[in-house]
Structure 1
């Protein structure tokens, strides 16, 4: 498959998937999610690949869903967006045999936070930050955010982050348990590559079974929580408050 929103490179046992929409700060559209799923499935068929690095091109990891794709005149069926595109992506990341490292090189907001946290190891640049902007546009967190975030950072921090919508620095994310390591921007590539190389030397079944064991212990209820996010987002999508908020966002040209 030829990708419009991604680049995929393979170097021995390590593959890199890069969301390639830098002009949009790697905001995600439905097609992006579909391409990510396809890329993962294709890499799983390559017996030699053990590790995937997931990142974004340019200065952002990803700024969430591309709100400019929302047609405010006809409405936005967010139920279908999640059911058909983003929830399958989250499950694909968790169920893949591949060990997936999210390289958070810059701003990470909205559904992109859920995608980063759905990966197995999160390594961030000091320049990165995490942002839960959903309540500011009259929506609820999705993309597994309500599952992964409180599990890592605790209920109190998750609630405040999701309702106040304040940026969480990379250092705070490290303290909260959202990321494994934080490095200066000029060292990020080397540190991510070092981790990927160490894991790539391991026996493939050891990687696969360790991932399965840890995920089984940690993610009981993930599918049900994704369904609940889908249902509530479908309920709120298209509300007058959401339409007004997204209209302001798009006209203002602000990044999340």
Structure 2
């Protein structure tokens, strides 16, 4: 099995476990992490003994979104290729996978990490979890599938509130809105997430894969076109002076 730097991967067949592992950075994404996630999902997909995937984040957060220090280092920022080459292939692979994927979310789930969680089939949230779309506040636009997943899950008005105002949606409210399947106490999160993933792994594999395909076809028509639009608009946004200034302010904090 491949060795990774920024994620942890384990297989206790029929369950594969994938964990974002930059806890000191609240699991903020890097290009390396995105590429490693894509490779890990590919390995799980190719193993016939794997029947489900459990995705989580090490430490006190699921994920803080893309590491803005990487954007600040780009001159000029070229975010279109970042999405096209690293993030969009990951989202597509997760949605096209035969495997049911369970996200186990605690603490911050922000930006691209929201897209990652919503690309899973079920989301289990601890009470500490909150969902947060900070893009507009740093002069960027939603990506990682957020602009398609959010309005279809919570409706256009709530999605607009999340995306335009950048308010944090706590776990209980996220559950009421339909962003998560179940909210549990943080102490019970790992056990409940494992139990749900194990239940999925025990179901008939062909029926699970076909059902996932049906639900995706009904709920995610246009995903490819939306990912392409996110790529193009994010590339424009990332080159703006407003974005540069906002990221500099964020990093100074």
In structure 2, distance between residues paired with 1:12 and 1:44: 12
Question: Using the alignment, how far apart are the partners of 2:38 and 2:13 within structure 1?
Answer: 21
| TM-score, with structure 1 as normaliser | 0.96
2:73 and 2:45 map into 1 onto residues whose CA distance is 38
1:22–1:57 CA contact under 8 A, matched in 2: yes
Runs of 4+ aligned structure 1 residues displaced above 3 Å come to none
User: 1:183 corresponds to which residue?
Assistant: 184
CA distance in 2 between counterparts of 1:193 and 1:23 reads: 24
**2:79 pairs with 1:78:** yes
Over residues 160-183 of structure 1, what are the superposed CA-to-partner deviations in whole Å (9 max), with x where a residue is unaligned?
111111100000100100000000
Supply the distance in 2 between the matched residues of 1:44 and 1:225 (Cα, whole angstroms): 24
Distance 1:3 1:81 in 2: 20
- CA distance, structure 1, for counterparts of residue 82 and residue 237 of structure 2: 13
Match of 1:202 in 2: 203
State whether residues 72 and 238 of structure 1, in contact with CA within 8 Å, keep that contact through their aligned partners in structure 2: no
Query: Counterpart in 2 of 1:64?
Result: 65
Inter-partner Cα distance in structure 1 for 2:15 and 2:73: 41
1:233 is aligned to 234
Give the unaligned 5+ runs of structure 1.
none
The offset of 1:73, in angstroms, is: 6.3
Two-structure CA RMSD over aligned residues (Å): 0.9
Shift of 1:240: 0.6
The alpha carbon displacement at 1:72 in A equals: 4.7
Partners of 1:158 and 1:183 in 2: how far apart?
24
Consecutive unaligned residues in structure 2, runs of 5 or more: none
TM-score scaled by length of structure 2? 0.98
SS of match in other structure, 1:52:
strand
Q: Distance in 1 between matches of 2:76 and 2:199?
A: 47
8 Å contact from structure 1 (residues 28, 65) kept in 2: yes
Deviations 1:23-59, CA, capped at 9 Å, x for gaps: 1000001111111010011111211111101110000
Q: Structure 1 CA distance, aligned partners of 2:208 and 2:102?
A: 13
Q: Which residue does 1:104 correspond to in 2?
A: 105
